[in-house]
Structure 1
């Protein structure tokens, strides 16, 4: 999960998280925690760059006054 806030054409990455999972007694895998990743370690820089590319490609056109 990449936590990003966008405001006034600026983008701020708040954190990149991995999901932790575990097996229950019945054998099912369940999500049980989020793990904050080091911003300098792989794959964090690549994920941040990818998310930036996606946000730029899908950003709406600026609203112009009539």
Structure 2
């Protein structure tokens, strides 16, 4: 569950950052931050899935 909260917070922050980059006529630094936001958004579901899979395996049959 913490990964899902983190993913929601990162997604909201990323949306705000993208608006800021678009409004401010972004430089290369702004584009790099935008790409890093997408990477974080993609990493969080992978970590959440991995954690859920481990929890399911430890619960047993």
Same fold (TM over 0.5): no
Greater helix content:
2
Structure scoring higher RCO (CA < 8 A, sep ≥ 6) equals 2
TM-score by length of 1: 0.36
